[in-house]
Chains A and B, each alone.
Chain A
Amino acid sequence: MTAAEIMERPSKKEVISSPQSRKLRIQERIAKGIIWFLAMLTIAVLAWIVGYLMVRGIRYNNHVPYGVTTSVETQLELPGMDDDVVFIIHYKTRSEDIPVTGLRKLYNKVRKENWGFYNQQNLKVTPFAYKGAGAFSKSVEEFLLTGSDLSDYRENVKDVSSWKDMVSHVGSTPGSLGFIPASEASNLPSNVKILGVRRIALAVHPSVLEIQDGKMMREISSENVDRIINGEVSNWQEVGGTDLPLTVIEHDDSGNYIEELQNTSGAVVLCHFSDIEQNELSTIPVLRHETGWNLTWHFIVEAPARSGQWGGISYIILNTFFLILFTVLFSTPVGIMAAIYMVEYTNQGRMMRILRMGTETLAGIPSIVFGLFGFIFFVQILGMGIGFISSTLTITLMVLPTIIRTSEEALKSVPQSFREGSLALGASKLQTIVKVVLPAASPGILTGIILSIGRTVGETAVLIYTLGSNYDLVSGPSSSARVLSLHLYMLFSEALSFDRTFATGAVLVIIILMTNLSATYVMKRVNKNSGYALRS
């Protein structure tokens, strides 16, 4: 088709400002405007995806409901004691404060208590107690057990011989937890820090929690709790509840307030959580706004625990690295040799057509089909089992077309004169390829390797049925493992934690961006040097 055929309409000689040409110009401007807009949209979409992921991955920003309010006490008053009690922890424990129920669970080691439940730090709890301090110890024990007589507590806690001994024990035992009187809490060494306790709760008259007009008070934000305390709220509607007058009742030690609370519709009182437990009062969970860094150093270097719910992703990153390493090790030589054969040894013949068809078809096969194949061939027929080697080989087949195609382009771009010069000097064909052509093509080949690394890092569907889901460090060719993309999917599908899913995603995206940018950089260098354009 030629331009003349396409433009067969008789072209009139146009006057610049004729209505026809004006219409054309407007048309052109609109069309180009739309195209501009769509190009911008593409950039915006990428910015949105990467930005969103980074923001969510780097910082968390959650509202978490707790049975207690956000107010933190570092010194807890004990009934009938002159001295307050202070809870201390080892300085490497990343908790600042804890709800009183959590504190009790830690001490009583309910459900194999681990700091992970409170700060995702996989750390066993070692509770200490000083039983020799008479009434004070008794009182703390009473507080920690809230009346129940748990023999667990007595078995679990390690006894110390003095308050000084307590401080030194807590300071030297990771995950430890101890208590001392407030009078002893001055001049604590730097390896011990004070754990705040949140035990103030919001007890309400049951009427507040009743469903009215399909509306119900499920939880309350800490800001609204402040407003209630300050007397700024007169109706529950103002804090998201039903139409009910709000009465704040003063807490007193005698316990009279409980009767008052139970008799006043819409009443609320601030009291200790233990009072609520003892008197079986109704309570509203309080939302605590928690923000912080998701993507911390700890997250990168700690080993994952409890399906990745606690700890970090160090093993996962290492596994990803190993997968990349071995995939590159397997696929690069084969890919380059294949490309050499296709460029240097065979002409546009039947062989070439078959080879090209094979590569193109391999490139088009969806990853889930590779997964099925890997599962049936490497895992079952060759008996390699679900593990590292099966998945590496499957991925190798997947990235082979990428490497072959880029290497081919790179080899083709080496000027023919290089080869001729080398051959003219008496070098054999092999010598020419190894000593002249390959070095000249190496930046282009490198691009292919980097691109295949990116592909390996991002692949998931293949890995589910060839790599398994063990989150430990890969220990051998047949050991099941997890890599970043798989870990992300597992965290997502098991709904373990969106914060950690995003943090893992951020790491994944950073790696992908880095590989892609370096591929672009290498490609640019190649373009500058030899002037060929590489497109995938």
Chain B
Amino acid sequence: MKSSKSVLEVTVEKIFLLSALISVISVIFITVFIFQEGLPLFAKVNPLKFLFSSNWAPTAEPPQYGILSFIMGSVWVTAGALLLSVPIGLAVGIFMAEMAEGRFADILRLVVGLLAGIPSVIYGLFGYIAISPLIRTLFKSPTGLGILTASIVLAIMTLPTIINITEVSLRAVPQELVEGSLALGATHWMTIYRVMVPSARSGILAGIVLGMGRAIGETMAVLMVAGNAVTMPKGPLSLTRTLTMNIATDMKYAADDHAVSLFTTGIVLFVFILGINMLVQYLMKKAVKEDV
């Protein structure tokens, strides 16, 4: 090798570095611009009132900006989705890591991949046309739309995330642990739920939190099935509006402070997601450490 790198080599390396930095720069830009656009609202509206009032009337005189009902909407919908998708996701993850063999495993893997690939508008359409009539007849709700329907749709959407990470974490469990357990006379099932799942729990938790992030951030599907009512959610059948829906619906016609308030909603969402991301990264790191 030559002792000094040629100019070309150095230039190219700089270009590569620049490309790699684009994602970092984007994150910084996104953060800066969302905050820059949204924060001015707090000069006029008390941040606490913004977060903890459920009075949303941005076009009224005087305008009211309270997003508590949307936060609660997001919480309800996400909690509902996780309630459904976590048990199924765990089960299918275990199945893929430990029980599925040969062709069937391939098919299942393909199915999970396709579920992850289906666009959210399709899920929304499906939820509106196929799931909401079921809810309507089963629970006698007037429209069939609302938190429950949105949760079901979101559960299907977050399933692949949870399944994949569960499977990966289970596979990462050191073979000695499994063999040790089996050697002690434990059955396959006992090994799975007494040894493998506990030792993979950081990874599994990361998957669940990641799924949570997906559910909170999802826009189109919930927009189509959650009913979009600006009220505090009262139960699983009530119509609701989530943070993302608030941005998506009002963006069409918002002006001045109203538009700013949507960016402020974006900040809240963004902060939620950042927190979730950090949690995921922490958990993943822990999961990796536990492996070693």
Residues of A near any B CB (own CB < 8 A): 1-4, 6-7, 11, 14, 24-25, 27-28, 31-32, 34-36, 38-39, 41-43, 45-46, 48-50, 52-53, 56, 333-335, 337-342, 345-346, 354-355, 357-362, 364-373, 375-377, 381, 397, 400-401, 404, 423, 426, 428-430, 454, 457-461, 464-465, 485, 488-489, 492-493, 498, 501-502, 505, 508-509, 512-513, 515-517, 519-520, 535-536
Asked if A39 meets B108 with Cβ closer than 8 Å, knowing A49-B122, A512-B118, A516-B113, the reply is: yes
B176 to chain A, nearest CB (A): 8
Q: Are the C-beta atoms of B19 and A334 separated by less than 8 Å?
A: yes
Q: Which residues of A lie under 8 Å from residue B190 when comparing CB positions?
A: 24, 28
List 15 additional contacts besides A459-B119, A536-B116; criterion CB under 8 Å. A6-B198, A27-B189, A53-B126, A358-B24, A358-B27, A359-B23, A360-B280, A364-B213, A368-B244, A371-B247, A376-B37, A377-B33, A460-B121, A461-B244, A489-B220
B227 at the interface (CB under 8 A from A): no
Q: Please indicate which of the listed interface residues A1, A339, A461, A485 has the most CB atoms of chain B within 10 Å of its own CB.
A: A461
8 of the cross-chain contacts (CB-CB < 8 Å) are A46-B114, A338-B19, A341-B17, A365-B273, A458-B118, A458-B119, A459-B119, A492-B125
For this complex, into which size category does the number of interface residues on chain B fall? 35 or more
Asked if A338 meets B273 with Cβ closer than 8 Å, knowing A35-B91, A461-B248, A492-B224, the reply is: no
B227 to chain A, nearest CB (A): 14
Q: Which residues of A lie under 8 Å from residue B290 when comparing CB positions?
A: 1
Asked if A42 meets B184 with Cβ closer than 8 Å, knowing A338-B19, A516-B117, the reply is: no
For the complex, give the distance between the alpha carbons of A193 and B66 in Å.
Answer: 63
For the complex, give the distance between the alpha carbons of A28 and B99 in Å.
Answer: 12
Q: Are the C-beta atoms of B281 and A368 separated by less than 8 Å?
A: no
Chain B, range 1-23, C-beta contacts under 8 Å to A: 1-2, 5-6, 8-9, 12-13, 15-17, 19-23
Q: Which of A3, A42, A459, A509 contacts B159 (CB 8 A)?
A: A42
Q: Are the C-beta atoms of B218 and A366 separated by less than 8 Å?
A: yes
Q: Which residues of B lie under 8 Å from residue A369 when comparing CB positions?
A: 30, 34, 217, 266, 269-270, 273
Q: Which residues of A lie under 8 Å from residue B219 when comparing CB positions?
A: 366-368, 460-461
A469 to chain B, nearest CB (A): 10
Q: Nearest residue in B to A513 (C-beta to C-beta)? A: B114
B100 at the interface (CB under 8 A from A): yes
Q: Are the C-beta atoms of A428 and B156 separated by less than 8 Å?
A: no
For the complex, give the distance between the alpha carbons of A35 and B163 in Å.
Answer: 12
Q: Are the C-beta atoms of A355 and B20 separated by less than 8 Å?
A: yes
The 5 residue pairs across chains A and B that have the minimum distance between CB atoms = A366-B217, A458-B119, A358-B24, A3-B180, A337-B19
Q: Which of B181, B263, B276 contacts A3 (CB 8 A)?
A: B181
Quick one: CB contact mask for B104-130 with A, threshold 8 Å, 1 for yes? 000110111111111111111110111
Q: Which residues of A lie under 8 Å from residue B247 when comparing CB positions?
A: 368, 371-372
B185 at the interface (CB under 8 A from A): yes
Asked if A28 meets B187 with Cβ closer than 8 Å, knowing A2-B177, A377-B33, A535-B164, the reply is: yes
